[in-house]
Structure 1
């Protein structure tokens, strides 16, 4: 079951997939009749002048007469592409096209991928803000920390549409849903659990913030980066890392932090969790080793050393895959369906709880067939729904819509 760096066979298949029968993964389709001169007169001149004038008079009419309300932009500068690092904007385009494909496949949202060749945050923000009116929502993707925090915050302030950095919040939402269920199965609560997260980038910071919003105690959240445990006596901490700085103690390393921990979250790199450290954790631990393609510890090793553990990864070939696709299509679907001005904390928390709840419901036969399973039920090897579960759209998007309306960021009421 080991998944290695892509082999020659996978490379060949992947390149062939992206090149043939036509390059890329996206196209544009026409949604209105365009057969004769009458259609052309409506689609373009002179008929197109009428929606132009209507939108000029009332900008919200753009949602009535254009594709804006069902259109998402996936925007990146390519500084943190998947697990490949700083590949540049153009090299990141296949990933952005892939993200757009998932939006369409799972939530029927149209999507443009936009690669912005700009690393300086203020200039990047200015570029994106000037084109934001085209879209109903903006999904920021593969932008390195700490610039991603500044960019998202600035765009949220300038735009009146949802701006969402999926590497932060999509990861956090799915991770926290899985964590709530895993802790429940282990007889523990988020409020009491001591959590160690290795990886203090976009996903790590956002996940710890969301866990805190769900009830985790700040003194129980231990964040670890390349230099060890983040503590208040370390100079030069970013404001994001400072939020989670612990008081100075003898626990300065990952191993030290793991002593007495209930949860390990890996959002960093392969092989960072040594098997001998697992014995330091409390009974019935939760181990989320989410680095891809090689986790911080392989699940079979973790289960062999700690057979009382619940283990999750970011991979599809093991149980309990923590995958952003469980969240972002449906989060945007719900936000756009009520024309939300933003994606706020209430909507994120609603998505967490909807995902956690769905995992406890009976799994329909088509999902079992898709994953070649005779049965799946809530338990140590099924703490989070499967990405191909068709109920995700209604369940998660519906919860997000309700939260948007109740929290006052929706322009439309709940659909009947």
Structure 2
């Protein structure tokens, strides 16, 4: 690495606090009773339960979600035997990846012991601590003996990622590459450069996938692995070939697959002509591969190329699988990770690359969505769908292999549970999605040509939430659908409305639109221009005309202007005097609904009451009992300012209209979220627990608070959701993602269903 990168890496590890990991408590520790429950005397109850039934340790401690990342530092990355202590930054990094990608907690343990049998004794003794063991950076051939012995001795999964992680991804890459090339696994000829732990595991998994042992030749730095080679390690005897060849280039002739897990530049460009037509070259040495992709493309443009680097297509990166294999294994409390579980992961990864790319994958490719083919045979490491494909596949395989102590009974429910690691909005939207699927309304999308909209619409179709209607130019939309690799079919799965082509519908919409805005200073020629050029106007009119049951607008340009375009078109619902905006924010501790974040600058007490009742009704639709806090700088009468009096007056109005609503105020923000703080200020508060719906005295306080919490808590947004309209219409903010549009679509579909208009 260069000096700049080295300095940056050291600063990254040093500041703002050393290292990459910390331990966080999962329970409150604020009162003497908390202490009595967490420690003495209450903890004895948990101890007694585990004595009676050791398996309750998974229910009463963190063990069920805890993995040990363990090394002796004998083969750390490409640095070699640098020792356990120097390997600690790598182990911390591995633990961070477990947490980031699969929500798994990890302890990194660096063992200063290079004797394999002593190392085994140390690790085996740690079994009561963990739900699984991830062995890391242990040199061959000792790693084989260590893993095999620990797997026999321990009743929890033991997985040496250096071997099996790489092998699983290579297996997926090979399956997809030969599919692209039109070859068969049992017929391809395979040559390796490297015969260490990873290379041997790769070959073993390819043999399990159907490769013919007679078609596999392994080489290492001493040459070909052949039968009768002096001092051949016993672990390689089953892959030794009967051959007179002794060096790498002598076995390359006719090879369909070159698998490099060795050293830089060992595959020469002039040797590439020896390979079979349409070869697969996996050059996985890091940081410099066995051959650079540009050399391969110059000499063999028919080749499919993969490396271990993120700056080239088809990166073979262990993070594609190890977090999700452990997720599936832990979730069924597996006693081991079997061959069938690894093969299930191979198939799941391969299958994922064959469906259209997610928005995140597109972003990783600079915004150009890859489609299955030579430059996209394995998913990107940051593809959020990995956990949804791999973990269930591994869990099923564990159950079929008979190593699952806690089988999963409902895989649909399990899939929903996994979504919390991907889209934290998943749990919040579950009841919304159920209503939406039953309703299956028509949703019109104003920005039908926008890439985010099209990705969202594909999700809407896959989840069977609605019947999409896209506003835009038909040819442009069709071309974008094709370029993004999406599966929707224009005219069949989605309806496209292009007012330049559909003159009858345009005339009908224009006549009604002119009636709506004629007395708002919009002359007829402007009305026609708005209908053609302002997509929000077009979508709103399709909703007003009954051509759709809900509308999603915005996502481009100024939010307020889009709102102004829509406001004259869709009337307010009965009894509503104004329209309001509520935004949901999902954070680690749960969900918070903020109101009003976007519309009303300084609502009156009557308007605060109205928005609260509308918002509470909307929260109910999410399957959540609203707990409402009216926020202020004043805490329960602490100030007599105008805004404080406004919130007190609003409370009285709300209680008069809905006496059953759990609400209190006016109060500080911390009092709203922490019951102990609230109890100190007002012991007889009618609000219990933490508020989930917070109402602000003005738009400044609402919007500022929402954005501060979103940024500091890394929250996921659903909204803004417009309240008070008689038909579901929502306007996305410019920063919205495809997932955000899909979330708004689910909300709109639910609202259409609840309105009983279908």
TM-score bin (small chain): over 0.9
User: How far apart are the structure 1 equivalents of 2:130 and 2:162?
Assistant: 20
3-state SS of 1:241 partner: helix
3-state SS of 1:208 partner: helix
Match of 2:236 among 213, 233, 241: 241
User: How far apart are the structure 2 equivalents of 1:409 and 1:368?
Assistant: 37
Match for residue 302 of structure 2? Answer: 308
Shift of 1:371: 3.5
Q: Is 2:191–2:251's contact at 8 Å kept on the other side of the alignment? A: yes
3-state SS of 2:125 partner: helix
Does 2:33 align with 1:38? yes
3-state SS of 1:79 partner: coil
User: How far apart are the structure 2 equivalents of 1:33 and 1:241?
Assistant: 54
Does 2:282 align with 1:280? no
| Cα displacement string for residues 52-100 of structure 1 (whole angstroms, at most 9, x for unaligned residues) | 0000110000001000000000000000000111110000000000000
User: How far apart are the structure 1 equivalents of 2:243 and 2:178?
Assistant: 28
Greater Rg, structure 1 or structure 2?
A: 2
Match for residue 172 of structure 1? Answer: 167
User: How far apart are the structure 2 equivalents of 1:393 and 1:248?
Assistant: 43
User: How far apart are the structure 1 equivalents of 2:368 and 2:241?
Assistant: 46
Shift of 1:370: 3.9
User: How far apart are the structure 2 equivalents of 1:58 and 1:85?
Assistant: 43
Match for residue 402 of structure 1? Answer: 396
User: How far apart are the structure 2 equivalents of 1:36 and 1:188?
Assistant: 67
User: How far apart are the structure 2 equivalents of 1:132 and 1:199?
Assistant: 33
Shift of 1:183: 1.2
User: How far apart are the structure 2 equivalents of 1:383 and 1:144?
Assistant: 30
User: How far apart are the structure 2 equivalents of 1:281 and 1:371?
Assistant: 29
Does 2:179 align with 1:184? yes
1:35-184 to 2 correspondence within 5 Å? 35-184=30-179
Match for residue 3 of structure 1? Answer: none
3-state SS of 1:243 partner: helix
1:231-270 to 2 correspondence within 5 Å? 231-249=226-244, 251-270=245-264
Q: Is 1:363–1:377's contact at 8 Å kept on the other side of the alignment? A: yes
Shift of 1:415: 4.5
3-state SS of 2:80 partner: coil
3-state SS of 1:196 partner: strand
Q: Is 2:225–2:241's contact at 8 Å kept on the other side of the alignment? A: yes
User: How far apart are the structure 2 equivalents of 1:41 and 1:242?
Assistant: 60
Match for residue 563 of structure 2? Answer: none
Match for residue 201 of structure 1? Answer: 196
User: How far apart are the structure 2 equivalents of 1:367 and 1:309?
Assistant: 23
165-174 or 360-369: bigger deviation:
360-369
| Cα displacement string for residues 26-64 of structure 1 (whole angstroms, at most 9, x for unaligned residues) | 000000111010000000000000000000110000001
Match for residue 24 of structure 1? Answer: 19
Match of 1:414 among 385, 397, 408: 408
User: How far apart are the structure 2 equivalents of 1:233 and 1:131?
Assistant: 41
User: How far apart are the structure 2 equivalents of 1:369 and 1:225?
Assistant: 38
Match for residue 329 of structure 1? Answer: 323
3-state SS of 1:29 partner: coil
Match for residue 292 of structure 1? Answer: 286
User: How far apart are the structure 1 equivalents of 2:344 and 2:328?
Assistant: 11
| Cα displacement string for residues 95-152 of structure 1 (whole angstroms, at most 9, x for unaligned residues) | 0000000000000000000000111110000000011220000000000000000000
3-state SS of 2:69 partner: strand
User: How far apart are the structure 2 equivalents of 1:308 and 1:374?
Assistant: 22
Going from structure 1 to structure 2, the CA distance change for 1:370 and 1:275 (only over 3 Å counts) comes to closer
Shift of 1:365: 1.9
Structure 2 stretches lacking a partner, 5+ long: 411-758
3-state SS of 1:382 partner: coil
Q: Is 1:233–1:248's contact at 8 Å kept on the other side of the alignment? A: no
User: How far apart are the structure 2 equivalents of 1:355 and 1:248?
Assistant: 35
Q: Is 2:360–2:382's contact at 8 Å kept on the other side of the alignment? A: no
Match for residue 379 of structure 1? Answer: 373
User: How far apart are the structure 1 equivalents of 2:389 and 2:175?
Assistant: 17
User: How far apart are the structure 1 equivalents of 2:387 and 2:273?
Assistant: 40
User: How far apart are the structure 1 equivalents of 2:353 and 2:119?
Assistant: 39
Q: Is 1:75–1:141's contact at 8 Å kept on the other side of the alignment? A: yes
User: How far apart are the structure 2 equivalents of 1:31 and 1:187?
Assistant: 52
Shift of 1:367: 2.6
3-state SS of 1:369 partner: helix
User: How far apart are the structure 1 equivalents of 2:276 and 2:350?
Assistant: 24
| Cα displacement string for residues 324-381 of structure 1 (whole angstroms, at most 9, x for unaligned residues) | 0000000000000000000000000000000000000111223312432322110000
User: How far apart are the structure 2 equivalents of 1:371 and 1:19?
Assistant: 31
Match of 1:340 among 331, 334, 337: 334
Q: Is 2:361–2:369's contact at 8 Å kept on the other side of the alignment? A: no
Shift of 1:226: 1.1
Normalised to the residue count of structure 1, the TM-score between the two structures is 0.98
Equivalences, count: 410
Does 2:385 align with 1:391? yes
3-state SS of 1:329 partner: helix
Structure 1 stretches lacking a partner, 5+ long: 1-5
Shift of 1:176: 0.8
**RMSD of aligned Cα (Å):** 0.8
3-state SS of 1:53 partner: helix
Q: Is 1:72–1:138's contact at 8 Å kept on the other side of the alignment? A: yes
User: How far apart are the structure 1 equivalents of 2:378 and 2:363?
Assistant: 17
Q: Is 1:231–1:245's contact at 8 Å kept on the other side of the alignment? A: yes
